[in-house]
Structure 1
Amino acid sequence: MKLALFADVHANRHALDACLAHAERAGAERHAFLGDLVGYGAEPGAVIQRVRALCGSGAMAVKGNHDAYASSLLVSGKKTLGHASVAWTQRQLSLDEREFLAGLPMTHAESSFLLVHASADAPGSWRYVETPELAAASLDAAMHPPIGSEKVRHVFGGHVHSQTLFFRGGAGKLMPFAPTPGVPIPVPRHRLWLATVGSVGQPRDGRIDAMYAIFDDNAEQLTFHRVPYDVQGAMAAIRATELPAFFADRLEYGR
């Protein structure tokens, strides 16, 4: 099975549509969404409806921090950019859409893999998995109940808005690996692997192309992808709302 892995869509319908089309051409047979469907972008409702339809056809989805914020009560008195994004997003969503976000699980384990937005050892703390030490803590938690099981060999997440692969070899230490887009990487089950698949809707590595990955469990390969999309269209959609212009500007620079 080829599993397409999407994280941090952030209400960017233009980027999501481009990644879904790319995944279809690449032969993806199933989809997984690793949190943060909403936040920052202009089309949260459209993104939720697209993901809900895919979930009805067998896709998987877990909750991200922005999904949790959008489906919770706002804390009054805060005037940050993040608060403005949450407040605006909540006003756009129907009760049904907010309930969908609220009902998403924090993790999902299946076969040899576990899906999580941030770190499996404390999913609700929204910890950024950016170092071998933090990756090891997440991977260790994924291999034991109640989060996962000893069958888990691959952990897939997002949250950090960049693409990185960590692997644990015979010495026990996790090592980071910077993938090359479009080049399949062997991820055999005799080792343990943790990947952050990057952000569909808000890349932050200095490049503007959307990110996602495909896991081929039969071939035991993981391929990271970068996908061009209509960045100007996504920016214009944000500028047509009451969202801060900063959220549009950052798409142009990938920051």
Structure 2
Amino acid sequence: MLLAVLTDLHANREAVEACLAHAKERAADQYAFLGDLVGYGADPGWVIDTVMAYVNRGAYVLMGNHDLGVLQDDRKDMNPTARFVVEWTRQNLNEVQTNFIRELPMQFELDQCLFVHANAWAPERWEYVDGAMEAARSMRATNAQITFCGHVHTPSLYHMNHAGKVATFTPSPDVSVPLSKLRRWLAQPGSVGQPRDGNPAACYALFDTQQLELTFFRVPYDTETASQKVLAAGLPASLAHRLIHGA
């Protein structure tokens, strides 16, 4: 099975459309959405409706911290910008969309793989895997050979040998990486809706579950339209700027 792994969509319709079209062109069989469907972007309802349609065809989907924020009154752990957008998002979702978020799980497993939004040691606490130490902690918290997670808006790949030594691999777009069974792996596809590595192109990955090969992609999209929609919605200008510059 060729599985498209998308995370941190962040209500960015233009980026989501581009990545889904890209995956379809490459004959993806199934889709996994690793949370943060909403937040930051101007099209939360459209993104949730689209993910719901994919779920009806068998796709997998997780809850992210911004999704959970829509359901909560107490958001003290979020920065002021994120809190503002989450409250705006809540007012722009209908009951069906909100109930869909409410039922999302924190993790799921598929064959030898674990899928979480943030990390494997405490998915509900939203702590970041942003270095080798955290990657090791996450991999040691599960028996899965391969862990997929989001939350960090940059693409990364970590691997751990039998002795527990962890190394970081910087993936190149469009280059297939064989995931050896002799190692444990943690893959972060990067953000569809709000990349933060200086490259505004949307991120996602394709995983061949039979061949155990993972390919990262960068997909250009209409950042100008997406950013203008953020401004038109009355959301912070810094979020529009970030879409243009990818940082």
TM-score calculated relative to the size of structure 1? 0.93
Aligned to 1:66: 66
User: Residue 74 of structure 1 contacts residue 87 of structure 1 at CA under 8 Å; is this kept in 2?
Assistant: no
Q: For residue 249 of structure 1, give the secondary structure of its aligned residue in structure 2.
A: helix
Map of 1:162 onto structure 2 = 154
Cα deviation, residue 74, structure 1 = 4.7
The unaligned stretches of length 5 or more in structure 2 are none
Residue 226 of structure 1, aligned match among 201, 204, 218: 218
Letter in 1 for 2:160: R
For residues 135 and 32 of structure 2, the distance between their equivalents in structure 1, rounded to whole angstroms, comes to: 20
1:250 alignment partner, SS class: helix
Task: State the Cα distance separating 1:242 from its structure 2 match.
Answer: 1.8
**Is 1:207 aligned to 2:199, yes or no?**
yes
Match of 1:148 in 2: none
- 2:229 maps to 1:240: no
Matches within 5 A, 1:66-215: 66-74=66-74, 80-143=80-143, 152-215=144-207
Cα drift, residue 216 of structure 1 = 0.4
4+ long deviations beyond 4 Å: none
Alignment coverage as a number of residue pairs: 246
SS at 1:142 equivalent = coil
RMSD of equivalent CA atoms: 1.4
Aligned partners of 2:197, 2:95: CA distance in 1, in Å?
35
Q: Whole-Å Cα distance in 2 between the matches of residues 227 and 43 of structure 1?
A: 19
- Which deviations, in whole Å up to 9, do the C-alpha atoms of 1:164-221 show, x marking residues without a partner? 1011123321111000000000002232110111000000000110000011011110
- Tell me by how many angstroms 1:239 deviates: 1.2
| Correspondence for 2:208 | 216
For residues 16-52 of structure 1, the C-alpha deviation after alignment (integer angstroms, 9 at most, x for no partner) is 0000000011121000001100000000000000000
Identity, % of aligned pairs? 45
Q: Does 1:15 align with 2:7?
A: no
Contact 1:88 1:242 in 2 (8 A): no
Cα distance in 1, alignment partners of residues 223 and 6 from structure 2 = 18
TM-score, normalised via structure 2 length: 0.96
CA shift digits 1:209-242 (9 cap, x unpaired)? 0000011011110000000001011011111112
Q: What amino acid is aligned across from residue 181 of structure 1 in structure 2? A: P
The equivalent residue for 1:147 is: none
Secondary structure, aligned partner of 1:212: strand
